[in-house]
Amino acid sequence: MADIILGIESSCDDTSAAVIRDGYLLSNVIASQDVHKAYGGVVPELASRAHELNIVPVVSEALSRAGVKPEELSAIAFTRGPGLLGSLLVGTSFAKAMGLALDIPIVMVNHLQGHLLANFIREEGKAVREPSFPYLCLLVSGGNSQIVRVDDPLHFEILGQTIDDAVGEAFDKCSKMMGLGYPGGPVIDRLAKLGDENRFQFAKPRVEGLNYSFSGIKTSLLYFVRDEMAKDPQFMEKNKEDICASFQKALIDILMGKLIKAAKQTGIREITIGGGVSANSGLRDRIVKEGAKRGWNTYLPEFKFTTDNAAMIAIAGYHHYLAGERTPLDVAPVSRMSDF
């Protein structure tokens, strides 16, 4: 009998549902929330309300595309955290209710674990390169900047992480300040392709070990642009491509410097990336080049699996389900990694 898992992701501003059968993806539906663009960032209350409106049609569409009836499901995997508490509450409550109605188990998933396993999402008729264990994952998104050692699908260790802002926050906040729009990562990446990455230099932080810091370089850019705009009000418009290229290069240098250090310290040559910022073309190119230079085996998730999506939650939940793990109905969502 096939193991069919429904995955539900609602940690931030995307409502997503996916169905997998025996580890193969049948459907992956995502409803994004454009309402946040007007505010230059995610508004938690608006996000949770949108999840309430989207969750039923998104799950229904995922089951329909997969050709799966609710009574055929083996289990429901859902994101317990970390994330926005109100958003997580919608997905968690829905999973509980549906699991109870169908009399099937629910399985909680760590959102970060989903990103770590994005390279294991299989689709019929598509070849997939899967990293061997153990591997290192550079997990980068709007809320996370981490280097993680993954020993098997269910066990991982954070070797280093940001001590302040995440790299995705640096992209978004600086893009907003420069008037380039939200989300900032895709905008800066697009403009960076047109600019000279060596024209401007930004001071890089000195942080011990494998931890990151992006608050300083973010502030450095903001003061730089402010001072130059005071001299020439057209400075930003005249130089935005070069500014974006130089800023993006500096962020990638910081990320790669610690990843290279982690690979040397652990001796691990299986290297992956994950999270929303892993869609950045400059970072993807850089990790491939560094891999070729250093003898790494590098693995890049498909673009559609870099952002928050239920396919990664479903594949993580599938492994938990096979391991015999089940989640009680009194479980509560958690907003922070430390509470998981």
Q: 213-253, pLDDT tens digit by residue?
A: 999 999 999 899 999 999 999 999 999 999 999 999 999 99
pLDDT at 43: 82
CA–CA dist 175, 177 (Å, integer): 5
Q: Residue 159 pLDDT more than 80? A: yes
Task: Give the alpha-carbon dihedral of 287, 292, 295, 301, to 10 degrees.
Answer: 40
Alpha-carbon span 83 to 10, nearest angstrom: 8
pLDDT for residue 270:
98
Lowest-pLDDT range of 26-30, 149-153, 193-197, 334-338: 334-338
Contact between 257 and 285 (Cβ < 8 Å): no
Closest listed residue to residue 63, CA positions, set 97, 12, 29: 29
pLDDT-above-70 percentage for the chain: 98
* 314 in Cβ contact with 18 (< 8 Å): yes
Outline where DSSP puts E strands in 131-216. Answer: 135-140, 145-152, 155-161
pLDDT score recorded for residue 42: 80
| Main-chain phi, psi angles of 151, to 5 degrees | -95, -30
Give the model's pLDDT for residue 39.
62
Q: What is the pTM of this model?
A: 0.94
Q: How many CB atoms lie under 10 A from the CB of residue 25?
A: 22
Q: Residue written as tokens 């009194």?
A: 330
pLDDT classification of 337: cutoffs 50, 70, 90: confident
Tokens of 305: 């699996």
Residue-wise burial string across 114-127, b where 16 or more C-beta atoms lie within 10 A, e elsewhere? bbbbbbbbeeeeee
CB 254 within 8 Å of CB 142: no
The torsion angle over the Cα atoms of residues 175, 222, 217 and 214, rounded to 10 degrees, is -50
